[in-house]
Amino acid sequence: MTIGQAMAIALAPIVLVVDDNGVNARIMLAQLTEIGLRSASVSSGVEALARTETERFDAILMDCFMPELDGYETTRRIRARGEEPRVPIIAVTANAIVGARARCIEAGMDDFLAKPFSAAALREVLARHLTLMETPTTPTPTTTSAPTIEIESESIEMLARLGVLPRVAKLYLDGLDKQIAAIRAAADDGDLTALRSAAHRLRGASAQLGISEFARLCGVLESAAAAGELEASRAAAADVFARVDPVKDAVDALQRPDR
């Protein structure tokens, strides 16, 4: 790294990532590195409030759907401080439904980004609020043997270039086991709220990593649970369970050094 490059990194804007999903947070941190920005992360709205009281960030990427204190309320509390200059807060959410953007703006957020999104899409949104330097493009290398389930995401090659793909793959697999267990328990108990929450988390991580078909199945489950349809939810959960092993095999392959 040249002295000029080191100075550029040191002077680059710093973005705070607020997301309780480890996979999504790690991908966003990698995307910010790819764009040429500095970054930090916290895993809850409570942590975000504490961190922003003592540190100044140039922008915040705020997940909307978090336990304890969601992104909407976290943003309202940050705005209530009346701090100037006003830090741009960008909503990141897997719920790209009618009215979602308006709800984010009403809470005090400045922009909206629907998951999954690419580094280019993230850069485009951030460029509306920050002064960004041009970053050189890196050619995407060709992949070798395809897994049994398609993972169609530029995030994979970006994470590989940055050397964090095995770590993100492990985070995803750990979260997969946890959310599948939660879905099984909620389906057995008829707990539609828990079912919706677990499906939402799994859908977001799967979509951001590029496991599109599995994310779609999780979305079907989430929608059925949100509609209060228990039998339809259990049927959708069965479809999700049927794809777990192929998904595990595909993501596990990302951890191998010979990939």
* pLDDT at residue number 180: 96
pTM (2 d.p.): 0.75
d(CA 30, CA 182): 28
User: How do residues 17-58 score in pLDDT, each as one tens digit?
Assistant: 999 999 999 999 999 999 999 999 999 999 999 999 999 999
Q: Could you say which of 1.20.120.160, 1.10.3210.10, 3.40.50.300, 3.40.50.720 is the CATH number of the domain covering 165-253? A: 1.20.120.160
CA gap 246, 253 in Å, rounded: 11
Task: Give the tens place of pLDDT for each residue, 177-208.
Answer: 999 999 999 999 999 999 999 999 999 999 88
User: Do 165-253 and 11-136 fall under one CATH topology?
Assistant: no
What was the pLDDT predicted at 195? 95
CA separation for the pair 90, 17 (Å, rounded): 10
What per-residue confidence (pLDDT) applies to 257?
60
Q: pLDDT value at position 53?
A: 95
Q: What pLDDT does 153 receive?
A: 65
Q: How confident is the model at residue 140 (pLDDT cuts 50, 70, 90)?
A: very low
Q: Is the peptide bond before 116 cis (omega within 30 degrees of 0)?
A: yes
- Residue 93 confidence (pLDDT): 86
Give yes or no for a contact between 12 and 126, defined as CB atoms under 8 angstroms apart.
Answer: no
Query: Is residue 111 within 8 Å of 90, Cβ to Cβ?
Result: yes
What pLDDT score was predicted for residue 159?
Answer: 87
- pLDDT tens across 208-239, in order? 888 989 999 999 999 999 999 999 999 999 99
**Of residues 162, 145, 142, 199, the one with CA closest to residue 36:** 162
Q: What is the domain partition of the chain in residue ranges?
A: 11-136, 165-253
pLDDT in tens, 113-139: 988 888 899 999 999 999 887 654 444
Residues 6+ apart with CB under 8 A from 144: 259
Q: Span 132-147, mean pLDDT?
A: 48
Reduce the secondary structure of the chain to three states and give it as a string.
CCHHHHHHHHHCCEEEEECCCHHHHHHHHHHHHHHCCEEEEECCHHHHHHHHHHCCCCEEEEECCCCCCCHHHHHHHHHHCCCCCCCCEEEEECCCCCCHHHHHHHHCCCEEEECCCCHHHHHHHHCCCCCCCCCCCCCCCCCCCCCCCCCCCHHHHHHHHCCCHHHHHHHHHHHHHHHHHHHHHHHHHCCHHHHHHHHHHHHHHHHHHCCHHHHHHHHHHHHHHHCCCHHHHHHHHHHHHHHHHHHHHHHHHCCCCCC
Fold that domain 11-136 belongs to in CATH: Rossmann fold (3.40.50)
> In which band, very low, low, confident or very high, does the pLDDT at 254 lie, cut at 50, 70 and 90?
confident
